[in-house]
Amino acid sequence: MVKRRVVYVLAWIILFAVYMFTTGYSIFVVLVIMALLPVISAFYALFIRDNLYIEIDNSHKMIIRGEKMGYDVIVRNKSHFVASDINLVVGCVYNNYDVLETSSHIINVDGGEKECIRVNQRMKYIGVLTVKTDDSYIMDPLRLFRFTLKDKARCQVTVMPVLNEPDYYALYNPLDENVDSNEYSKKRKGEDASQIFDVRNFADGDSLNRVHWKLSAKEDELLVKEFSHPITKDNCILLEIHKFETEQLRYNLNGVFEMVYAIGNLACVKEKEFSIAFYSSLADELRVIDVLSHEELTEAVLLIIQEESYEGNKALEYYLASEIKDSCKLYYVTDNCDEEVFELEDKTKTQAYIYDIGSGEDCGKVTHLVRNVILEVDRDDIRWGLANTQF
């Protein structure tokens, strides 16, 4: 565009020099036309620009990471003249990752008509994806100037983690049942599936997971288990949302979110009471959300993936300063297992599972400390970390 302007100005200067030496009337007319054309062309482009309207038609408000999303970007021309050389720039940016990915589409729209561009995109990261057309522009007919479109369109899509299901065949392993009876209340029923408090008749709303199939077959009626209430510690899933500088580290954050989602789902399946804790940059505090169902787990994950990232182990720092650090069995998910994490055993009285999310040959290892367990989990193999998790 700059070269075109330079060439146009040089041509005008050359013609003006010729006119000064020859004083030909025809050359004077050409000079006037050449001087007026850019002005007329610019005013025409500005008029068209003010009559262009953009909208994004997207039926997806929530999608799973890795899935492909298609949406339509529609440009309407409400003038009676042709709108040509529209450069529709569609930009996409995720929260916690300030890298704008763009695609450009050159379109023409007849007067009173609309043009639709179909954009297909695969969801790479977990978080909130913003689709916008802020950088779109129109060229004047001479292609000497460009003007940013006044009307801008935006839409947001929430990209959820992939849910890694547990191995249901090995779900209730012997380690879950080898618990001394004095750790459970003998007077109060609860939600711990590893110990049965009582058996009663099936009622509407009862989960089929609680049906005592052997006893039901023997008694010829559906009977369900009433689980015991544990006197032992509650469960807390704690995660870090670290800032990162590279695309690979952004992928690690995907692994952190999916590991949290998988652990929470495992707890829901086994009907365990638990909470999810994370550091909120906006409130500058540790937020703790109690979760009793899969629906509440999904709502908690939605809140987490919208949080801003930060530097350091803020969540762990605030957790150790809280009152719950000695009353919860901890499931700590991070992508930076440093010395502070290894010293966790000396700062709490309960057991902790520590998940170090990353990639490469070092993943797939389990380190047993005196009380805690460190799992080096590959971000692409969350099921391995889940298989080594015990509630």
Q: 73: Cβ–Cβ under 8 A, 6 or more apart, which residues?
A: 54, 55, 56, 57, 88, 90, 105, 116, 117, 119, 133, 153
Is 173 a domain residue? no
Domain contains 63: yes
CATH number at residue 140: 2.60.40.10
Q: Determine phi and psi for 192, rounding to 5 degrees.
A: -85, 115
* Overall number of domains in the chain: 3
Domain membership flag for residue 302 = yes
Task: Assess whether 133 and 15 both reside in one domain.
Answer: yes
- Reading the chain (391 residues) residue by residue, the pLDDT tens digits are 677 777 777 777 776 777 677 766 777 777 788 888 888 889 999 999 999 999 999 888 899 999 999 999 999 999 999 999 999 999 999 988 888 899 999 999 999 999 999 999 999 999 999 999 999 999 998 888 899 999 999 999 999 999 999 887 766 554 444 444 444 444 444 544 445 556 778 777 666 667 777 777 777 788 777 655 444 458 999 999 998 878 888 899 999 999 999 999 999 988 888 999 999 988 899 999 999 899 999 999 999 999 999 998 999 999 999 888 888 899 999 998 887 777 787 888 888 999 999 988 878 899 888 889 999 999 999 999 999 988 7
State the alpha helices, DSSP H only, in the chain.
Answer: 2-22, 25-49, 174-177, 213-219, 247-269, 294-305, 314-320, 339-342, 344-347, 382-387
Question: What CATH number is associated with residue 312?
Answer: 3.40.50.410
**Angstrom distance (rounded) from CA 381 to CA 239:** 18
Question: Burial code of 104-135, b = ≥16 C-beta within 10 A, e = fewer?
Answer: ebebebeeeeebeeebebebbbbbbbebbbeb
**What residue numbers bound the domain in which 210 lies?**
183-230
Tell me, yes or no, whether 365 lies in a domain: yes
What confidence score (pLDDT) does residue 202 get?
74
- 204 and 154 in a single domain? The answer is no
Q: Which of 171, 205, 230 is the last residue of a domain?
A: 230
Classify residue 168: in a domain, yes or no: no
Beta partners for residue 63, in sequence order: 159
Residue 175 maps to a domain? no
> Strand (E) positions, 123-208?
127-132, 137-139, 146-148, 154-160, 184-201
Q: Is residue 166 part of a domain?
A: no
Residue 356 phi/psi, 5-degree rounding, is: -100, 105
First vs last C-alpha separation in the chain: 64
Kindly state whether residue 178 falls inside one of the protein's structural domains: no
